[in-house]
Structure 1
Amino acid sequence: MNYVQLETFLSVASTRNFNRSSEELCITQSAVSTRIRSLEKSLGVELFTRGRFGAELTSSGVKFQQYAINICEVWRQAQQELALPRGYEGILRLSTQFSIWDKFVNNWVIDMHEQYPNIALHLESDYSMSMMEQIVDNLLDIAVMYQPRVLLDIEIIKLFDDKFVLVSTQACNLETLDKEKYVYIGWCPNFHNAHASQVPFLKAKGVTMGLGTMAINYLKEKGGSMYIQAWRAKELLASEEFHLVKDAPSILQPVYAVYRKKAEDNELYDAAIKSLHSVAKKIGTGHSDI
Protein backbone atom coordinates (compact mmCIF):
# COMPACT_ATOMS: atom_id res chain seq x y z
CA MET A 1 0.00 0.00 0.00
CA ASN A 2 1.35 3.43 -0.94
CA TYR A 3 0.23 7.04 -1.25
CA VAL A 4 -0.63 6.94 -4.96
CA GLN A 5 -2.87 3.90 -4.38
CA LEU A 6 -4.69 5.73 -1.60
CA GLU A 7 -5.00 8.86 -3.74
CA THR A 8 -6.46 6.77 -6.55
CA PHE A 9 -8.87 5.02 -4.18
CA LEU A 10 -10.17 8.36 -2.86
CA SER A 11 -10.58 9.68 -6.40
CA VAL A 12 -12.66 6.66 -7.49
CA ALA A 13 -14.65 6.84 -4.23
CA SER A 14 -15.50 10.43 -5.18
CA THR A 15 -16.14 10.07 -8.93
CA ARG A 16 -17.65 6.56 -8.76
CA ASN A 17 -16.08 6.05 -12.18
CA PHE A 18 -12.69 4.61 -13.17
CA ASN A 19 -12.60 6.55 -16.44
CA ARG A 20 -13.31 9.93 -14.80
CA SER A 21 -10.66 9.20 -12.16
CA SER A 22 -8.11 8.43 -14.88
CA GLU A 23 -8.82 11.87 -16.39
CA GLU A 24 -8.69 13.54 -12.97
CA LEU A 25 -5.33 11.91 -12.12
CA CYS A 26 -3.94 12.21 -15.68
CA ILE A 27 -3.22 8.47 -15.94
CA THR A 28 -4.71 5.63 -18.01
CA GLN A 29 -7.83 3.75 -16.94
CA SER A 30 -5.70 0.61 -16.86
CA ALA A 31 -3.37 2.27 -14.34
CA VAL A 32 -6.35 3.18 -12.14
CA SER A 33 -7.56 -0.43 -12.22
CA THR A 34 -4.07 -1.76 -11.44
CA ARG A 35 -3.66 0.55 -8.44
CA ILE A 36 -7.06 -0.36 -7.03
CA ARG A 37 -6.43 -4.11 -7.50
CA SER A 38 -3.03 -3.80 -5.78
CA LEU A 39 -4.60 -1.92 -2.87
CA GLU A 40 -7.38 -4.49 -2.54
CA LYS A 41 -4.80 -7.29 -2.60
CA SER A 42 -2.71 -5.68 0.15
CA LEU A 43 -5.82 -5.15 2.32
CA GLY A 44 -7.34 -8.54 1.53
CA VAL A 45 -10.79 -7.07 0.79
CA GLU A 46 -12.78 -5.81 -2.17
CA LEU A 47 -13.20 -2.03 -2.04
CA PHE A 48 -15.50 -1.48 -5.04
CA THR A 49 -18.21 -3.31 -6.89
CA ARG A 50 -17.82 -2.65 -10.62
CA GLY A 51 -20.79 -2.40 -12.93
CA ARG A 52 -21.97 -0.85 -16.19
CA PHE A 53 -23.06 2.28 -14.31
CA GLY A 54 -19.76 2.81 -12.51
CA ALA A 55 -18.07 1.77 -9.27
CA GLU A 56 -19.68 1.71 -5.83
CA LEU A 57 -17.92 1.36 -2.49
CA THR A 58 -18.39 -1.95 -0.73
CA SER A 59 -19.01 -1.99 3.03
CA SER A 60 -15.25 -2.52 3.45
CA GLY A 61 -14.59 0.39 1.11
CA VAL A 62 -16.82 2.67 3.16
CA LYS A 63 -14.99 1.69 6.36
CA PHE A 64 -11.58 2.18 4.74
CA GLN A 65 -12.39 5.60 3.24
CA GLN A 66 -11.85 7.61 6.44
CA TYR A 67 -8.59 5.78 7.15
CA ALA A 68 -7.39 6.66 3.64
CA ILE A 69 -8.34 10.32 4.14
CA ASN A 70 -6.44 10.46 7.44
CA ILE A 71 -3.35 8.72 6.04
CA CYS A 72 -3.22 11.07 3.04
CA GLU A 73 -3.68 14.09 5.31
CA VAL A 74 -0.80 12.97 7.53
CA TRP A 75 1.33 12.38 4.44
CA ARG A 76 0.62 15.90 3.13
CA GLN A 77 1.37 17.28 6.60
CA ALA A 78 4.73 15.48 6.62
CA GLN A 79 5.52 16.88 3.17
CA GLN A 80 4.74 20.39 4.35
CA GLU A 81 6.88 20.12 7.47
CA LEU A 82 9.81 18.43 5.73
CA ALA A 83 9.71 20.79 2.76
CA LEU A 84 9.60 24.08 4.66
CA PRO A 85 10.92 27.05 2.68
CA ARG A 86 14.46 28.12 3.48
CA GLY A 87 14.58 30.36 6.53
CA TYR A 88 11.54 28.84 8.26
CA GLU A 89 11.90 26.77 11.43
CA GLY A 90 8.42 25.26 11.72
CA ILE A 91 4.80 25.40 10.68
CA LEU A 92 1.62 26.25 12.57
CA ARG A 93 -1.66 24.88 11.19
CA LEU A 94 -4.80 26.87 11.98
CA SER A 95 -8.41 26.41 10.90
CA THR A 96 -11.39 28.65 11.64
CA GLN A 97 -15.16 28.39 11.41
CA PHE A 98 -16.34 29.26 7.89
CA SER A 99 -18.51 32.10 9.21
CA ILE A 100 -15.68 33.98 10.94
CA TRP A 101 -12.91 33.27 8.43
CA ASP A 102 -12.91 36.54 6.49
CA LYS A 103 -12.90 38.78 9.58
CA PHE A 104 -10.44 36.81 11.66
CA VAL A 105 -7.65 35.34 9.61
CA ASN A 106 -5.96 38.27 7.85
CA ASN A 107 -5.38 40.19 11.08
CA TRP A 108 -4.10 37.06 12.81
CA VAL A 109 -1.67 36.22 9.99
CA ILE A 110 -0.27 39.76 9.98
CA ASP A 111 0.16 39.72 13.75
CA MET A 112 1.85 36.28 13.78
CA HIS A 113 4.26 37.19 10.97
CA GLU A 114 5.33 40.27 12.89
CA GLN A 115 5.99 38.20 16.04
CA TYR A 116 7.35 35.00 14.47
CA PRO A 117 8.58 35.71 10.92
CA ASN A 118 10.42 32.36 10.89
CA ILE A 119 7.23 30.30 11.39
CA ALA A 120 5.25 29.26 8.31
CA LEU A 121 1.45 29.28 8.54
CA HIS A 122 -1.02 26.85 6.97
CA LEU A 123 -4.64 28.07 7.01
CA GLU A 124 -7.95 26.31 6.43
CA SER A 125 -11.66 26.87 7.07
CA ASP A 126 -14.13 24.20 8.19
CA TYR A 127 -17.02 23.31 10.50
CA SER A 128 -16.64 22.67 14.25
CA MET A 129 -17.14 18.88 14.12
CA SER A 130 -14.56 18.36 11.39
CA MET A 131 -12.04 20.65 13.09
CA MET A 132 -12.40 18.78 16.40
CA GLU A 133 -11.63 15.50 14.62
CA GLN A 134 -8.53 17.04 13.00
CA ILE A 135 -7.32 18.43 16.34
CA VAL A 136 -7.72 14.99 17.95
CA ASP A 137 -5.91 13.33 15.02
CA ASN A 138 -3.13 15.95 15.27
CA LEU A 139 -3.83 17.22 11.75
CA LEU A 140 -4.40 20.76 13.06
CA ASP A 141 -2.57 22.76 15.70
CA ILE A 142 -5.25 25.33 16.57
CA ALA A 143 -8.92 25.60 15.61
CA VAL A 144 -11.23 28.57 16.16
CA MET A 145 -14.84 27.46 16.41
CA TYR A 146 -18.32 27.91 17.84
CA GLN A 147 -18.97 24.41 19.16
CA PRO A 148 -16.01 22.57 20.75
CA ARG A 149 -16.22 19.20 22.51
CA VAL A 150 -14.64 18.66 25.91
CA LEU A 151 -12.04 15.90 25.45
CA LEU A 152 -9.02 14.60 27.35
CA ASP A 153 -5.77 16.45 26.57
CA ILE A 154 -7.61 19.12 24.58
CA GLU A 155 -7.40 22.76 25.70
CA ILE A 156 -10.45 25.00 25.13
CA ILE A 157 -10.15 28.78 25.61
CA LYS A 158 -12.92 31.31 25.08
CA LEU A 159 -11.83 34.16 22.79
CA PHE A 160 -14.90 36.39 22.58
CA ASP A 161 -18.68 36.48 22.13
CA ASP A 162 -19.78 36.79 18.51
CA LYS A 163 -22.80 39.10 18.63
CA PHE A 164 -25.66 38.36 16.22
CA VAL A 165 -28.25 41.01 15.35
CA LEU A 166 -31.43 40.97 13.29
CA VAL A 167 -31.28 42.89 10.00
CA SER A 168 -33.90 43.35 7.31
CA THR A 169 -33.96 44.67 3.76
CA GLN A 170 -36.97 46.79 4.84
CA ALA A 171 -36.89 49.37 7.62
CA CYS A 172 -39.10 47.94 10.37
CA ASN A 173 -39.39 46.88 14.00
CA LEU A 174 -40.23 43.46 15.42
CA GLU A 175 -43.96 44.12 15.17
CA THR A 176 -43.93 45.17 11.51
CA LEU A 177 -41.22 42.67 10.41
CA ASP A 178 -42.42 40.38 7.60
CA LYS A 179 -41.88 37.09 9.44
CA GLU A 180 -42.79 35.05 6.36
CA LYS A 181 -39.61 36.30 4.65
CA TYR A 182 -37.32 35.51 7.57
CA VAL A 183 -34.34 33.33 6.58
CA TYR A 184 -32.94 31.14 9.34
CA ILE A 185 -29.18 30.53 9.24
CA GLY A 186 -28.00 27.44 11.13
CA TRP A 187 -24.86 28.86 12.68
CA CYS A 188 -24.47 26.06 15.27
CA PRO A 189 -26.52 24.10 17.86
CA ASN A 190 -25.82 26.66 20.61
CA PHE A 191 -27.12 29.47 18.41
CA HIS A 192 -30.18 27.38 17.54
CA ASN A 193 -31.05 26.94 21.22
CA ALA A 194 -30.57 30.64 22.01
CA HIS A 195 -32.62 31.59 18.95
CA ALA A 196 -35.48 29.31 20.00
CA SER A 197 -35.42 30.81 23.49
CA GLN A 198 -35.09 34.51 22.62
CA VAL A 199 -37.11 34.81 19.40
CA PRO A 200 -39.46 31.79 19.36
CA PHE A 201 -41.83 33.65 17.01
CA LEU A 202 -39.21 33.65 14.23
CA LYS A 203 -39.51 30.23 12.64
CA ALA A 204 -37.53 28.60 9.87
CA LYS A 205 -39.69 28.92 6.74
CA GLY A 206 -39.23 27.50 3.25
CA VAL A 207 -35.64 28.70 2.97
CA THR A 208 -32.93 27.96 5.54
CA MET A 209 -29.21 28.30 4.97
CA GLY A 210 -25.90 27.19 6.43
CA LEU A 211 -23.68 30.14 5.52
CA GLY A 212 -24.11 33.85 6.08
CA THR A 213 -22.73 34.78 2.65
CA MET A 214 -25.39 32.65 0.96
CA ALA A 215 -28.15 34.33 2.97
CA ILE A 216 -26.83 37.83 2.26
CA ASN A 217 -26.77 37.24 -1.49
CA TYR A 218 -30.22 35.64 -1.43
CA LEU A 219 -31.80 38.48 0.57
CA LYS A 220 -30.26 41.11 -1.68
CA GLU A 221 -32.27 39.54 -4.50
CA LYS A 222 -35.46 38.47 -2.73
CA GLY A 223 -35.65 40.68 0.35
CA GLY A 224 -36.29 39.55 3.91
CA SER A 225 -34.47 39.34 7.22
CA MET A 226 -31.84 37.26 9.03
CA TYR A 227 -29.66 37.10 12.14
CA ILE A 228 -26.08 37.93 11.19
CA GLN A 229 -22.85 38.78 13.04
CA ALA A 230 -22.76 42.40 14.21
CA TRP A 231 -19.41 43.05 12.53
CA ARG A 232 -20.87 41.90 9.23
CA ALA A 233 -24.14 43.75 9.87
CA LYS A 234 -22.13 46.96 10.23
CA GLU A 235 -20.93 46.61 6.64
CA LEU A 236 -24.45 45.80 5.39
CA LEU A 237 -25.98 48.78 7.19
CA ALA A 238 -23.33 51.08 5.71
CA SER A 239 -24.34 49.89 2.23
CA GLU A 240 -27.96 50.93 3.04
CA GLU A 241 -29.22 47.64 1.56
CA PHE A 242 -30.13 46.40 5.05
CA HIS A 243 -31.62 47.99 8.16
CA LEU A 244 -31.14 47.06 11.82
CA VAL A 245 -34.27 45.80 13.59
CA LYS A 246 -33.42 47.81 16.70
CA ASP A 247 -35.91 46.32 19.15
CA ALA A 248 -34.87 42.72 18.33
CA PRO A 249 -32.72 40.99 20.97
CA SER A 250 -29.10 40.28 20.10
CA ILE A 251 -27.83 36.71 20.40
CA LEU A 252 -24.36 36.02 21.78
CA GLN A 253 -22.41 33.02 20.50
CA PRO A 254 -19.08 32.24 22.21
CA VAL A 255 -16.06 31.67 19.98
CA TYR A 256 -13.34 29.31 21.26
CA ALA A 257 -9.75 28.43 20.44
CA VAL A 258 -9.06 24.69 20.66
CA TYR A 259 -5.69 22.94 20.62
CA ARG A 260 -3.84 19.92 21.97
CA LYS A 261 -1.71 20.30 25.08
CA LYS A 262 1.86 20.23 23.72
CA ALA A 263 4.63 21.03 26.18
CA GLU A 264 7.29 21.21 23.50
CA ASP A 265 5.47 23.97 21.60
CA ASN A 266 4.20 26.04 24.51
CA GLU A 267 5.95 29.27 23.54
CA LEU A 268 4.63 29.22 19.98
CA TYR A 269 1.14 28.16 21.06
CA ASP A 270 1.05 30.87 23.72
CA ALA A 271 2.04 33.49 21.16
CA ALA A 272 -0.61 32.26 18.73
CA ILE A 273 -3.33 32.31 21.42
CA LYS A 274 -2.30 35.80 22.58
CA SER A 275 -2.51 36.95 18.98
CA LEU A 276 -5.97 35.40 18.62
CA HIS A 277 -7.08 37.20 21.79
CA SER A 278 -5.77 40.48 20.37
CA VAL A 279 -7.66 40.02 17.09
CA ALA A 280 -10.77 38.91 19.00
CA LYS A 281 -10.66 42.08 21.12
CA LYS A 282 -10.63 44.20 17.98
CA ILE A 283 -13.66 42.33 16.63
CA GLY A 284 -15.51 42.78 19.92
CA THR A 285 -14.74 46.50 20.01
CA GLY A 286 -15.88 46.81 16.42
CA HIS A 287 -19.45 45.67 17.09
CA SER A 288 -19.95 47.22 20.53
CA ASP A 289 -21.83 50.18 19.05
CA ILE A 290 -24.50 48.04 17.34
Structure 2
Amino acid sequence: MDIRFLTTFIEVAKTRHFGKAAENLYLTQSAVSARIKLLEEYFHTTLFIRQRNSIQLTQSGEKLLPYARQLCSTLNEAKQELQIQSSEYVVCGATQLASELMLPTTLSHLHNTFPDWSVKAEVLSLDGLSRQLHERVTDLAFSTEPLKSEEVKSEVLLENQLGLYRIGEGSNVVDAAEFVAIDWGSKARDLLLTLYPQLRDAKLRTNSLNLALNNLQYEGGVAVLPEGAVNQLDPTIAISLIQPLEGITMKVYLHTMKQVRRVGLEALITSVSAIHPAK
Protein backbone atom coordinates (compact mmCIF):
# COMPACT_ATOMS: atom_id res chain seq x y z
CA MET A 1 0.00 0.00 0.00
CA ASP A 2 1.26 3.48 -0.92
CA ILE A 3 2.04 5.59 2.18
CA ARG A 4 0.51 8.58 0.37
CA PHE A 5 -2.90 6.96 0.77
CA LEU A 6 -2.51 7.21 4.55
CA THR A 7 -1.29 10.83 4.46
CA THR A 8 -4.33 11.66 2.32
CA PHE A 9 -6.61 9.90 4.82
CA ILE A 10 -5.04 11.87 7.70
CA GLU A 11 -5.52 15.18 5.86
CA VAL A 12 -9.18 14.48 5.07
CA ALA A 13 -9.75 13.46 8.69
CA LYS A 14 -8.16 16.74 9.82
CA THR A 15 -9.99 19.07 7.44
CA ARG A 16 -13.26 17.08 7.21
CA HIS A 17 -13.41 18.32 3.63
CA PHE A 18 -12.19 16.65 0.42
CA GLY A 19 -11.67 19.97 -1.37
CA LYS A 20 -9.59 21.51 1.43
CA ALA A 21 -7.55 18.33 1.78
CA ALA A 22 -6.87 18.36 -1.96
CA GLU A 23 -5.75 22.00 -1.77
CA ASN A 24 -3.42 21.32 1.18
CA LEU A 25 -1.90 18.29 -0.55
CA TYR A 26 -1.65 20.01 -3.97
CA LEU A 27 -3.87 17.34 -5.54
CA THR A 28 -7.14 17.38 -7.43
CA GLN A 29 -10.27 16.52 -5.46
CA SER A 30 -10.80 13.49 -7.69
CA ALA A 31 -7.30 12.21 -6.81
CA VAL A 32 -8.10 12.53 -3.09
CA SER A 33 -11.40 10.70 -3.55
CA ALA A 34 -9.67 7.94 -5.52
CA ARG A 35 -7.04 7.43 -2.81
CA ILE A 36 -9.68 7.19 -0.08
CA LYS A 37 -11.66 4.71 -2.18
CA LEU A 38 -8.58 2.51 -2.67
CA LEU A 39 -7.83 2.70 1.05
CA GLU A 40 -11.38 1.63 1.88
CA GLU A 41 -11.08 -1.26 -0.57
CA TYR A 42 -7.79 -2.30 1.04
CA PHE A 43 -9.30 -2.42 4.54
CA HIS A 44 -12.70 -3.68 3.29
CA THR A 45 -14.53 -0.98 5.25
CA THR A 46 -15.97 2.52 4.98
CA LEU A 47 -13.77 5.21 6.54
CA PHE A 48 -15.94 8.32 6.07
CA ILE A 49 -19.61 9.14 6.19
CA ARG A 50 -20.13 11.51 3.29
CA GLN A 51 -22.87 14.11 3.63
CA ARG A 52 -23.48 17.26 1.62
CA ASN A 53 -21.95 19.71 4.11
CA SER A 54 -20.20 17.33 6.49
CA ILE A 55 -17.65 14.52 6.34
CA GLN A 56 -17.31 12.43 9.49
CA LEU A 57 -15.10 9.49 10.36
CA THR A 58 -16.83 6.15 10.75
CA GLN A 59 -15.99 3.95 13.73
CA SER A 60 -13.47 2.15 11.51
CA GLY A 61 -11.98 5.47 10.47
CA GLU A 62 -11.57 6.53 14.10
CA LYS A 63 -9.73 3.27 14.84
CA LEU A 64 -7.46 3.61 11.82
CA LEU A 65 -6.44 7.24 12.43
CA PRO A 66 -3.87 6.76 15.26
CA TYR A 67 -2.28 3.82 13.42
CA ALA A 68 -2.03 5.89 10.24
CA ARG A 69 -0.34 8.75 12.09
CA GLN A 70 2.11 6.44 13.83
CA LEU A 71 2.96 4.57 10.63
CA CYS A 72 3.56 7.78 8.64
CA SER A 73 5.77 9.18 11.39
CA THR A 74 7.78 5.97 11.66
CA LEU A 75 8.32 5.69 7.90
CA ASN A 76 9.43 9.34 7.63
CA GLU A 77 11.96 8.80 10.41
CA ALA A 78 13.21 5.63 8.73
CA LYS A 79 13.56 7.45 5.41
CA GLN A 80 15.65 10.21 7.00
CA GLU A 81 17.91 7.72 8.80
CA LEU A 82 18.51 5.67 5.66
CA GLN A 83 19.31 8.79 3.63
CA ILE A 84 21.77 9.94 6.28
CA GLN A 85 23.54 6.58 6.26
CA SER A 86 23.65 6.23 2.48
CA SER A 87 24.98 9.68 1.55
CA GLU A 88 25.34 13.31 2.47
CA TYR A 89 22.53 15.27 0.87
CA VAL A 90 20.82 18.63 1.11
CA VAL A 91 17.45 19.73 -0.24
CA CYS A 92 16.97 23.38 -1.20
CA GLY A 93 13.48 24.75 -1.73
CA ALA A 94 12.55 28.21 -2.97
CA THR A 95 9.60 30.23 -4.11
CA GLN A 96 9.70 31.35 -7.75
CA LEU A 97 11.28 34.79 -7.32
CA ALA A 98 13.69 33.61 -4.63
CA SER A 99 14.81 30.71 -6.82
CA GLU A 100 15.76 33.11 -9.62
CA LEU A 101 17.48 35.57 -7.32
CA MET A 102 19.32 33.15 -5.03
CA LEU A 103 19.53 29.54 -6.20
CA PRO A 104 22.07 29.84 -9.06
CA THR A 105 24.85 31.22 -6.84
CA THR A 106 23.82 29.00 -3.91
CA LEU A 107 23.94 25.80 -5.96
CA SER A 108 27.30 26.76 -7.48
CA HIS A 109 28.66 27.42 -3.99
CA LEU A 110 27.39 24.08 -2.67
CA HIS A 111 28.88 22.13 -5.58
CA ASN A 112 32.26 23.83 -5.19
CA THR A 113 32.45 23.88 -1.37
CA PHE A 114 30.74 20.58 -0.59
CA PRO A 115 31.57 18.40 -3.62
CA ASP A 116 30.69 15.16 -1.80
CA TRP A 117 27.15 16.30 -1.04
CA SER A 118 24.20 15.50 -3.27
CA VAL A 119 21.99 18.54 -3.87
CA LYS A 120 18.29 18.66 -4.77
CA ALA A 121 16.52 21.93 -5.63
CA GLU A 122 12.79 22.55 -5.96
CA VAL A 123 10.56 25.54 -6.73
CA LEU A 124 7.51 25.58 -4.41
CA SER A 125 4.66 27.78 -3.29
CA LEU A 126 5.15 29.58 0.03
CA ASP A 127 2.73 27.20 1.77
CA GLY A 128 4.43 24.18 0.25
CA LEU A 129 7.84 25.52 1.24
CA SER A 130 6.74 26.03 4.84
CA ARG A 131 5.15 22.58 5.05
CA GLN A 132 8.18 20.76 3.64
CA LEU A 133 10.53 22.71 5.90
CA HIS A 134 8.54 21.76 9.02
CA GLU A 135 8.37 18.15 7.84
CA ARG A 136 12.18 18.30 7.34
CA VAL A 137 11.82 17.31 3.70
CA THR A 138 13.52 20.62 2.79
CA ASP A 139 16.72 21.70 4.58
CA LEU A 140 17.26 25.22 3.22
CA ALA A 141 14.23 27.31 2.23
CA PHE A 142 14.44 30.60 0.31
CA SER A 143 11.57 33.04 -0.14
CA THR A 144 10.85 36.72 -0.75
CA GLU A 145 8.25 36.65 2.03
CA PRO A 146 8.78 35.94 5.74
CA LEU A 147 7.68 32.69 7.38
CA LYS A 148 6.01 33.02 10.77
CA SER A 149 6.96 30.05 12.94
CA GLU A 150 8.59 29.71 16.33
CA GLU A 151 10.38 26.59 15.09
CA VAL A 152 12.05 28.33 12.14
CA LYS A 153 15.14 30.53 12.05
CA SER A 154 14.97 33.19 9.33
CA GLU A 155 17.59 35.65 8.13
CA VAL A 156 17.73 38.19 5.32
CA LEU A 157 20.30 37.21 2.70
CA LEU A 158 19.62 39.90 0.13
CA GLU A 159 17.93 43.30 0.27
CA ASN A 160 17.57 45.72 -2.64
CA GLN A 161 15.67 48.98 -3.07
CA LEU A 162 12.65 48.67 -5.38
CA GLY A 163 11.86 51.29 -7.98
CA LEU A 164 9.65 51.84 -11.01
CA TYR A 165 11.87 51.62 -14.10
CA ARG A 166 11.36 52.27 -17.79
CA ILE A 167 13.10 49.86 -20.12
CA GLY A 168 13.61 51.28 -23.60
CA GLU A 169 12.91 54.74 -24.97
CA GLY A 170 9.93 56.73 -23.72
CA SER A 171 8.71 59.44 -21.39
CA ASN A 172 7.98 59.27 -17.67
CA VAL A 173 4.26 59.01 -18.42
CA VAL A 174 3.20 55.61 -17.11
CA ASP A 175 0.54 53.63 -18.96
CA ALA A 176 -0.96 50.26 -17.95
CA ALA A 177 -0.61 49.10 -21.56
CA GLU A 178 3.18 48.92 -21.10
CA PHE A 179 3.26 47.79 -17.45
CA VAL A 180 4.79 44.42 -16.51
CA ALA A 181 3.56 43.49 -13.04
CA ILE A 182 5.84 41.37 -10.84
CA ASP A 183 4.55 40.25 -7.46
CA TRP A 184 6.85 41.88 -4.88
CA GLY A 185 4.29 41.67 -2.10
CA SER A 186 1.38 43.71 -0.77
CA LYS A 187 3.40 46.69 0.53
CA ALA A 188 5.05 47.33 -2.83
CA ARG A 189 1.75 46.85 -4.66
CA ASP A 190 -0.19 49.19 -2.33
CA LEU A 191 2.38 51.99 -2.60
CA LEU A 192 2.61 51.63 -6.38
CA LEU A 193 -1.17 51.86 -6.78
CA THR A 194 -1.27 54.90 -4.50
CA LEU A 195 1.25 56.62 -6.78
CA TYR A 196 -0.08 55.23 -10.07
CA PRO A 197 -3.68 53.99 -9.69
CA GLN A 198 -3.86 53.29 -13.43
CA LEU A 199 -1.48 50.37 -12.90
CA ARG A 200 -4.25 48.17 -11.50
CA ASP A 201 -4.15 46.78 -15.04
CA ALA A 202 -1.05 45.42 -16.77
CA LYS A 203 -0.03 43.98 -20.12
CA LEU A 204 1.68 41.09 -18.31
CA ARG A 205 1.49 39.68 -14.78
CA THR A 206 4.05 37.15 -13.61
CA ASN A 207 5.80 35.76 -10.54
CA SER A 208 8.95 35.17 -12.60
CA LEU A 209 11.60 37.91 -12.67
CA ASN A 210 13.44 36.22 -15.55
CA LEU A 211 10.29 36.10 -17.68
CA ALA A 212 9.57 39.75 -16.92
CA LEU A 213 13.11 40.85 -17.80
CA ASN A 214 13.02 38.91 -21.07
CA ASN A 215 9.73 40.55 -22.02
CA LEU A 216 11.02 44.00 -21.10
CA GLN A 217 14.21 43.48 -23.07
CA TYR A 218 12.35 42.54 -26.25
CA GLU A 219 9.28 44.78 -25.97
CA GLY A 220 10.26 47.55 -23.55
CA GLY A 221 7.90 48.88 -20.92
CA VAL A 222 7.78 49.78 -17.25
CA ALA A 223 8.11 47.53 -14.21
CA VAL A 224 8.96 47.57 -10.52
CA LEU A 225 12.46 46.10 -10.25
CA PRO A 226 15.17 45.77 -7.61
CA GLU A 227 18.33 47.78 -8.22
CA GLY A 228 20.41 44.69 -8.98
CA ALA A 229 18.01 43.27 -11.55
CA VAL A 230 18.45 46.05 -14.12
CA ASN A 231 22.11 45.04 -14.42
CA GLN A 232 20.96 41.78 -16.02
CA LEU A 233 19.60 43.63 -19.05
CA ASP A 234 21.51 44.35 -22.24
CA PRO A 235 23.66 47.44 -21.51
CA THR A 236 22.79 48.91 -24.91
CA ILE A 237 19.12 49.20 -23.87
CA ALA A 238 18.04 52.53 -22.36
CA ILE A 239 17.08 52.14 -18.69
CA SER A 240 15.71 54.97 -16.56
CA LEU A 241 14.41 55.15 -13.02
CA ILE A 242 10.98 56.77 -13.02
CA GLN A 243 10.50 56.74 -9.25
CA PRO A 244 11.94 54.83 -6.29
CA LEU A 245 9.41 53.16 -4.01
CA GLU A 246 10.56 54.90 -0.83
CA GLY A 247 10.91 52.55 2.13
CA ILE A 248 10.07 49.46 0.07
CA THR A 249 12.75 46.86 -0.53
CA MET A 250 12.94 43.41 -2.04
CA LYS A 251 14.19 40.86 0.50
CA VAL A 252 15.24 37.25 0.11
CA TYR A 253 15.10 35.17 3.29
CA LEU A 254 16.85 31.95 4.22
CA HIS A 255 14.73 29.76 6.49
CA THR A 256 16.04 26.74 8.40
CA MET A 257 14.73 24.78 11.36
CA LYS A 258 16.13 26.02 14.67
CA GLN A 259 16.96 22.47 15.70
CA VAL A 260 19.28 20.97 13.09
CA ARG A 261 19.45 17.21 13.60
CA ARG A 262 21.80 16.08 10.85
CA VAL A 263 25.57 15.97 11.16
CA GLY A 264 27.29 18.48 8.88
CA LEU A 265 24.15 20.40 7.93
CA GLU A 266 24.80 23.24 10.40
CA ALA A 267 28.18 23.97 8.79
CA LEU A 268 26.59 23.95 5.35
CA ILE A 269 23.89 26.41 6.44
CA THR A 270 26.50 28.72 7.96
CA SER A 271 28.50 28.60 4.74
CA VAL A 272 25.48 29.55 2.61
CA SER A 273 24.67 32.45 4.96
CA ALA A 274 28.21 33.76 4.63
CA ILE A 275 28.18 34.03 0.81
CA HIS A 276 25.02 36.14 0.75
CA PRO A 277 25.47 39.07 3.16
CA ALA A 278 22.36 41.26 3.01
CA LYS A 279 22.99 44.54 1.23
Do the structures match in fold with TM over 0.5? yes
Would you say the 8 A contact 1:92–1:141 is kept in 2?
A: yes
Query: Secondary structure of the residue that 1:171 maps to in structure 2?
Result: coil
Aligned: 1:82 with 2:96:
no
Aligned: 1:14 with 2:41:
no
Q: How many angstroms does 1:161 deviate by?
A: 0.3
CA distance in 2, matches of 1:33, 1:149: 32
**Cα distance per residue 1:173-196 (max 9 Å; x no partner):** 43x343442232223234334534
Q: Cα distance 1:118–1:78, how it changes in 2: closer, same or farther (>3 A)?
A: farther
Query: Secondary structure of the residue that 2:119 maps to in structure 1?
Result: strand
CA distance in 2, matches of 1:192, 1:34: 44
> Which amino acid in 2 is paired with 1:261?
K
CA distance in 2, matches of 1:74, 1:209: 40
**Cα distance per residue 1:93-129 (max 9 Å; x no partner):** 2212211323422322232233333332221122333
Q: How many angstroms does 1:261 deviate by?
A: 1.0
Query: Secondary structure of the residue that 2:243 maps to in structure 1?
Result: coil
Q: Cα distance 1:144–1:190, how it changes in 2: closer, same or farther (>3 A)?
A: farther
Q: Cα distance 1:268–1:16, how it changes in 2: closer, same or farther (>3 A)?
A: closer
Q: How many angstroms does 1:43 deviate by?
A: 6.6
Aligned: 1:44 with 2:47:
yes
What are the residue-to-residue correspondences of 1:32-111 with 2, within 5 Å? 35-38=38-41, 41=44, 44-45=47-48, 59=55, 79=79, 82-83=82-83, 88=87, 90-111=88-109
For normalisation by structure 2, the TM-score amounts to: 0.66
Q: 1:140 aligns with which of 120, 138, 141?
A: 138
Instruction: Give the aligned CA root-mean-square deviation in angstroms.
Output: 4.3
What are the residue-to-residue correspondences of 1:87-236 with 2, within 5 Å? 88=87, 90-174=88-172, 176-196=173-193, 199-201=195-197, 203-207=199-203, 208-216=205-213, 218-219=215-216, 223-236=220-233
Give the total of aligned pairs: 247
CA distance in 1, matches of 2:150, 2:143: 18
What are the residue-to-residue correspondences of 1:233-244 with 2, within 5 Å? 233-238=230-235, 240=237, 243-244=238-239
Gaps of 5+ in 2: 10-21, 58-67
Q: How many angstroms does 1:228 deviate by?
A: 2.7
CA distance in 2, matches of 1:106, 1:170: 27
* Percent of paired sites with the same residue: 14
Q: Cα distance 1:254–1:232, how it changes in 2: closer, same or farther (>3 A)?
A: closer
Would you say the 8 A contact 1:142–1:258 is kept in 2?
A: yes
Q: Which residue in the other structure is 1:52 paired with?
A: none
Would you say the 8 A contact 1:183–1:224 is kept in 2?
A: yes
